[in-house]
Structure 1
Amino acid sequence: MERVYDRLTAEGLKVTVTQLPMTSVEDDVTAFSEAWTQDGPVLLVGHSYGGVVVTEAGIDPDVKGLVYVTAFQPDIGESGGDLLASAASDFTADKLTVSDDGFLLVNDDAFSPWQVTVFQKKMHSFGKIPSMGQRGNLAHKVTSAAWQDKPSWMTVATEDLLISPELQRRMAERAGSIVIEIKNGHMLPMTSPDEVAEVIAQAAKAVN
């Protein structure tokens, strides 16, 4: 994540990193909408569950494009859970743990072993593990889909064990997204930061 940010800012782009509360999709959309301070066109980027958030937050008129980094790209009336159930995947219910405060935590076995090592090294100092938010976040039915009338990009992680590559391709094709395939697993911002930053930079130039 840090390397994506560093690469983009080095290219002169103004980047805002938003910490989502993940208490509900509505709360996360509000956090996104209140976070950006850019003048001019805004490009929203969402990874994994964050794709649900940018899909709804992207209807803001300041938003000119969306980048989905191995993310859910739901249509109106769909949820992240619906999309997961619509495609065969190695990601099953037993790969989620519900924390004491109700958050859905993704177990290590949802990732390839080497990705777990990378993730643990990167995030150890923050004391965080991957989360899909509260139970309701995956059940939330999207009420607006910004990609319907705004350009979008999708980085497909060809080795993804969480959101199947086939589902990523299908969502992107439906949305008319520009597709970039990266041979890696789900945690692309950490494991392929240069490639992810390049996609974001190209998308930013396209909407500027």
Structure 2
Amino acid sequence: MTKLHTLLLSGSIALGAMIGQPSAASAQVQNILLVHGANVDGTTWRDVYDRLTADDYMVTVVQLPLTSVEDDVAAVQRNLDVQNGPVLLVGHSYGGVVISEVGVDPDVKGLVYIAAFQPDTGESGSSLLASTSTDFTPDVLEVFEDGHYLVKEEVFMSLVGNGLSEDDATFVARSQAMSNTAILAHEIDAAAWREKPSWSAIATQDRTIPPELQRRMSERAGSTIVEIENGHMLPMTSPDDVAELIREAAEAVE
């Protein structure tokens, strides 16, 4: 093979790899806001963040105060206000409650729910859990006098952390962010998914938000649905699948 032929062949392979590689350049939305769930923080998104930023998306991980839904909505809104251009909102678990309200902002072009609550107007996380059979009942919480709570460690590991390694489940259980019970009781004022396209990743082995509840909410919203065989902490256990769904949403919204 001639040296010129070798160079041309190598260049063609490299060009093909570049064309086949998904990137923000081909997407309608480049700005992605990742919103974490209750009792955790934004570090649960790290593996998803790494995958999306490698594709040149502008990714912001919101840190919620978890003191009230109003405070959490305000935290996401502040991050939303500094974005340059249209935004895709992504919420995990309780984060789905928050993005359902914030998502009415005109800069938000789509919503992605990851093993998340997807409430309608007047619904709360607590009312949705009460509507189905679940092991995640009020008695699994250790509630303090000021209304903040933790999920009991052994329960956290078995219900929330299933699918994680034992070391990771222990670490997340012992590094819980104190959350206020008000975030579970809050009835949302707006459901952005009624007006905007949505996607949903259902965790088929979820023991926190039952898969059948996730399906019911997602089907009601007309979301594009994927099912991922893992537990509740999909951003940590299945970052490839989660990142792929977010890419698909970013490329599809208008």
Q: Which TM-score applies when normalising by structure 1?
A: 0.91
Among residues 209, 215, 227, which one is paired with 1:163 in the alignment?
Answer: 209
Matches within 5 A, 1:50-61: 50-61=95-106
**Could you list the per-position Cα deviations for residues 102-158 of structure 1 after superposition, in whole angstroms to 9, with x for gaps in the alignment?**
32322342235553625346649xx62266x21111111111000001000110000
- Report % sequence identity: 57
Structure showing greater radius of gyration is: 2
**Could you list the per-position Cα deviations for residues 48-90 of structure 1 after superposition, in whole angstroms to 9, with x for gaps in the alignment?**
1110000000000000000111010000011110000001112
Give, in whole Å, the separation in 2 of the partners of 1:79 and 1:118: 32
Letter of the structure 2 residue corresponding to residue 12 of structure 1? D
Per the alignment, residue 240 of structure 2 pairs with 194
Q: CA RMSD in A?
A: 1.9
Structure 2: gaps (5+ residues): 1-44
Per the alignment, residue 29 of structure 1 pairs with 73
Structure 1: gaps (5+ residues): none
Tell whether 2:175 aligns with 1:128: yes
Among residues 48, 53, 57, which one is paired with 1:13 in the alignment?
Answer: 57
Taking a change above 3 Å as real, the CA distance of residues 112 and 14 of structure 1, as seen in their structure-2 partners, is closer
Residue 50 of structure 2 aligns to a residue whose secondary structure is: helix
Stretch moving more, 103-112 or 173-182: 103-112
Letter of the structure 2 residue corresponding to residue 186 of structure 1? H
> Which aligned segments of 4 or more residues in structure 1 are displaced greater than 3 angstroms?
111-114, 118-124
Among residues 82, 98, 108, which one is paired with 1:63 in the alignment?
Answer: 108
Q: How many residues of Structure 1 are paired with residues of Structure 2 in the alignment?
A: 205
Matches within 5 A, 1:117-156: 117=166, 119-120=168-169, 123=172, 128-129=175-176, 133-156=179-202
